[in-house]
Structure 1
Amino acid sequence: MDRADVDTKIRDLIAPFNKKDVELTAGTTFANDLEFDSLTVMDFVAEIEDAFDIIITMNQQADIETYGQLVDAVTKMQD
């Protein structure tokens, strides 16, 4: 799956969590822009892991602060 496909799939997965309909760009942050709390992050990560059949460790989660970083990380894990 290439980066564009990963991006499209993640956009579909994030929609129910994006309560304020924030425009998603590479620089959109989960904490500030999307206002995800820790529970929302855990639920969203579970959705990503199930959809892509991957495991995102706690260390990886700590390094992923923006939407673009998430798309890049998931794309890399798919390879």
Structure 2
Amino acid sequence: MTQNSDIVDVIIGMIGTLPQVTEVATPDTNIARDLGLDSLAVMNFVMQLEDRFDVSIPMDRLAGIQTINDLAAAVADLKGRSPE
């Protein structure tokens, strides 16, 4: 079973491939503020993430996601796993 920390690692790895990101991401990184992603870039990234994990993150849930840890917890929850 994949652990929440594994999901965090995948998300950080995916963020590292985004050309507009110049900062090193950590689990506590604020996705929009710290990485400088605009709303379109965030939505494109979320779509890639949804494809990677075969989940669909509802828009109302996205509004409460700020950090990579938050995003990993949402993915884990949608996959039926309890976040660590």
Q: TM-score, with normalisation over the residues of structure 2?
A: 0.81
Give SS of 1:25's match. coil
Give SS of 1:60's match. helix
The Cα shift of 1:34 comes to 0.3
Provide structure 1 residue ranges, at least 5 long, that are not aligned to the other structure: none
For residues 12 and 23 of structure 1, what CA distance do their matches in structure 2 show?
10
Query: What residue in structure 2 maps to residue 4 of structure 1?
Result: 5
Contact 1:18 1:34 in 2 (8 A): no
Which protein has greater RCO, CA pairs closer than 8 Å, 6+ apart?
Answer: 1
- Paired residues, number: 79
Query: What residue in structure 2 maps to residue 72 of structure 1?
Result: 73
The Cα shift of 1:28 comes to 1.0
Contact 1:31 1:65 in 2 (8 A): yes
Runs of 4 or more above 4 Å deviation: none
For residues 2 and 10 of structure 1, what CA distance do their matches in structure 2 show?
13
Counterparts of residues 1-79 of structure 1 (less than 5 Å): 1-17=2-18, 19-79=20-80
The Cα shift of 1:13 comes to 1.5
Percentage identity across paired residues of the two chains: 34
Once the two structures are overlaid, the 10-residue window that deviates more, 18-27 or 53-62, is: 18-27
